[in-house]
């Protein structure tokens, strides 16, 4: 009642009920006071029969006055309840009517949108058919059974079939579509076209396998051929992707390889080194990183020119690769600097490989226009066992070790060690 009083006092039915309640409260308080008086008098033992009669009369009077107030309170709440029920019923009916109107309006709007979409789709299909008939790419069309009924000259060259011999044959007998990555043949694609489902050009590479077994990378776009709303065939447009694929593969190779030597470049090498370090978090192991710097490269370059320097770098890259294990990574980091990453390699084995590489380069008899050169290499090596070390710290440690190999007379292998005072001093200078 307190909550109703605070929040709905303004409502007429509740206001009347609260007034009846308040009036009854006064009489209940009067009864309470009378009861206290009776209790006190009876306890004192000073009660006469006249007094008792007066009390009874007062009780009956108060009761007679409270009764009508109680009934008025109940009637007021009942009337309010009936009014609320009627109001809620009317609100529900109004809401239902509004929802029906909204549903009808929304349905008509959806139907109009669907019709507009269908009209736009039909217009787009007609424009596509005109475009496919005039482009310079390979274009073929089929009837409703999936048999070829037209192909242009470009399509004849692409499919290695003449139109006269291919006409009327099922499309599946002329070529197949194969996923370039998985090698799985695509099936049911012509059936989907004839069912009215257009085929968009896909970014994933596709191979067109001709009847003679040869394959050509292609991009394929297809659309159902509609006449008066009925599918009577399909139109296919092929784009020969041979040049594009060659260009993409060449760019991909150039992005990760050194053009002169064919080795991995610095970017690819650092990416693989970073992955090797991160893998130590999940699988403990040990790797070895080498930093190689040719000792006589500047002399060759300055006296004989860049052509001689390039030839020397190519020979060195071949010789270094011969001393590595399968899976080891050799990269040209720039100029006459090379990097080697030995995966899952103990320190002793890494030192042995480094010494073999040093000896191999020392034994290289390089000459240019009859002039011989003594070639050697300084190698800085660092062991990788801690997953917390960063890529920059690892490369810097190998670089410092290589620098110290040159400082100590060149043509040697220098292992990075935290206990080496000279290495620590050089590392501090670089920092």
Active site positions, annotated: 336
**SS3 assignment for 274-297:** HHHHHHCCCCCCCEEEEEEEECCH
Which segments of 180-229 are extended strands (E)? 206-210, 215-227
**Helices 347-362 and 306-322 meet at what angle, rounded to 10?**
140
Find the angle CA(161)-CA(163)-CA(166) to the nearest 5 degrees: 65
Cα 279 to the center of its chain, rounded Å: 22
Q: Which residue has the tokens 């240019």?
A: 368
Using alpha carbons only, how large is the chain's radius of gyration in Å? Answer: 48
Burial class of residue 158 in the structure, from the number of CB atoms within 10 Å of its CB (0-12 exposed, 13-18 middle, 19+ buried) = buried
Residues 48 and 20 sit within 8 Å (Cβ to Cβ): no
Structure tokens at 16: 């009347």
Which residue, 253, 252, 238, 251, is CA-closest to 202?
238
Find the angle CA(138)-CA(143)-CA(148) to the nearest 5 degrees: 45
SS3 259: coil
Give the full edge-to-edge strand order of the sheet including 148-151.
Answer: 148-151, 138-143, 230-240, 215-227, 206-210, 175-179
Residues 258 and 331 sit within 8 Å (Cβ to Cβ): yes
Tell me which DSSP letter residue 324 carries. S
Tell me which DSSP letter residue 196 carries. T
Which residue, 206, 214, 272, is CA-closest to 239?
206
Residue 12 vs residues 1, 2, 263: alpha-carbon distances, Å: 15, 16, 93
């Amino acid at each position: 009642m307190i909550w109703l009083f605070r929040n709905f006092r303004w409502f007429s039915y509740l206001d009347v009920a609260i007034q009846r309640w308040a009036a009854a409260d006064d009489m209940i308080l009067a009864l309470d006071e009378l009861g206290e008086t009776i209790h006190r008098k009876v306890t004192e033992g000073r009660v006469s029969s006249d007094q008792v009669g007066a009390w009874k009369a007062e009780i009956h009077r108060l009761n007679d006055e409270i009764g009508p107030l109680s009934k008025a309170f109940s009637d007021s709440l009942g009337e309010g309840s009936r009014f609320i029920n009627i109001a809620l019923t009317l609100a529900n009916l109004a809401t239902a009517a509004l929802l029906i109107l909204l549903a009808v309006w929304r349905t008509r709007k959806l139907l109009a949108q669907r019709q507009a979409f269908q009209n736009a789709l039909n217009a787009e299909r007609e424009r596509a058919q005109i475009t496919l008939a005039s482009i310079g790419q390979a274009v073929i069309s089929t009837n409703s059974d999936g048999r070829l009924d037209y192909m242009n000259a470009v399509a004849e060259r692409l499919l290695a079939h003449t139109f006269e011999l291919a006409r009327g044959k099922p499309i599946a007998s002329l070529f197949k579509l194969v996923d370039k990555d998985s090698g799985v043949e695509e099936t049911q694609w012509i059936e989907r076209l004839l069912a009215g489902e257009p085929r968009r050009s896909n970014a994933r590479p596709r191979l067109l396998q001709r009847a003679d077994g040869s394959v050509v990378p292609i991009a394929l776009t297809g659309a159902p051929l509609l006449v008066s709303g009925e599918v009577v065939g399909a139109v296919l447009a092929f784009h020969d992707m041979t040049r594009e694929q060659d260009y993409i593969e060449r760019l991909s190779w150039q992005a990760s390889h050194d053009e002169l030597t064919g080795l991995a470049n610095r970017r690819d090498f650092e990416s693989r080194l970073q992955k090797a370090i991160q893998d130590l978090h999940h699988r403990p192991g040990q790797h070895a990183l080498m930093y190689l710097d040719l000792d006589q490269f500047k002399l060759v370059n300055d006296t004989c020119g860049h052509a001689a320097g390039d030839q020397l770098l190519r020979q060195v890259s071949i010789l270094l690769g011969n001393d590595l294990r399968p899976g080891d990574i050799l990269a040209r980091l720039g100029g006459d600097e090379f990097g080697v990453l030995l995966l899952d390699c103990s320190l002793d084995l890494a030192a042995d490989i480094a010494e073999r590489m040093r000896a191999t380069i020392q034994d290289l008899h390089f000459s240019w226009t009859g002039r011989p050169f003594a070639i050697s290499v300084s190698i800085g090596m660092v062991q990788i066992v801690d997953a917390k070390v960063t890529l920059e710290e690892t490369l810097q440690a190998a670089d410092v070790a290589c620098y110290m190999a040159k400082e100590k007379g060149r043509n040697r292998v220098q292992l990075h060690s935290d206990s080496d005072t000279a290495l620590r001093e050089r590392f501090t200078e670089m920092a």
